[in-house]
Amino acid sequence: MFRYGDGEGLLRTYLFGSPTIIAFSPSAAKFVLQSDAKLSSEWPSVEILGDRSLAALQGAAHTRIRNLVVKSVNQPDPLRRIALMVQPRIISALHSWSERGTIQVLKEAKKVTFENIGKYFASFEPGPVLDILDELFIGMMNGVRANPNNIPGTAYHYALQCRKKANIIFREEMEKRKKEDNRHASTRNDLLDGLMRLKDDEGKQLSDMEVLDNIVTLVVAGYEATASAIMFAFYLLAKNPHVLQKLREEHIGLNKNGDFITSVEASKLTYTTKVVEEITRMANVSPFTFRTAKSDIDYKGYRIPKGWKVICLLRYLHTNPENYENPNCFNPDRWNVAPNPGTYLVFGAGSRICAGNMLARLQISIFLHHMVVGYRWELIDAEAGMVYLPHPKPVDGVEISISKI
Ligand code: HEM
Q: DSSP 3-state assignment of 234?
A: helix
Residues having CB within 6 Å of any atom of ligand 1? 33, 41, 54-55, 66, 69, 73, 217-218, 221-222, 225-226, 229, 280, 285-286, 289, 346-348, 352, 354-356, 359-360
Which secondary-structure segment (H or E) carries 193?
helix 191-197
Q: DSSP 3-state assignment of 151?
A: coil
**What interhelical angle do 208-239 and 105-122 show, nearest 10?**
150
What's the CATH number of domain 34-286+346-404, 1.50.10.10, 1.10.630.10, 3.40.50.1970, 3.40.50.300? 1.10.630.10
pLDDT digits (tens, 9 = 90+) for 375-398: 999 999 999 999 987 778 999 999
**How confident is residue 1, by pLDDT bands cut at 50, 70 and 90?**
very low
Q: How far, in Å, is the centroid of ligand 1 from the Cα of 227?
A: 13
pLDDT of residue 347: 97
Q: How far, in Å, is the centroid of ligand 1 from the Cα of 242?
A: 31
Q: How far, in Å, is the centroid of ligand 1 from the Cα of 356?
A: 6
pLDDT digits (tens, 9 = 90+) for 97-134: 999 999 999 999 999 999 999 888 888 888 899 999 99
Written as one letter, the residue type at 70 is V
Mean predicted confidence (pLDDT) in 312-333 = 96
pLDDT of residue 256: 80
pLDDT of residue 281: 98
Distance between CA atoms of residues 274 and 40, nearest Å: 32
**How confident is residue 2, by pLDDT bands cut at 50, 70 and 90?**
very low
**How confident is residue 268, by pLDDT bands cut at 50, 70 and 90?**
very high
354 annotated as a binding-site residue: yes
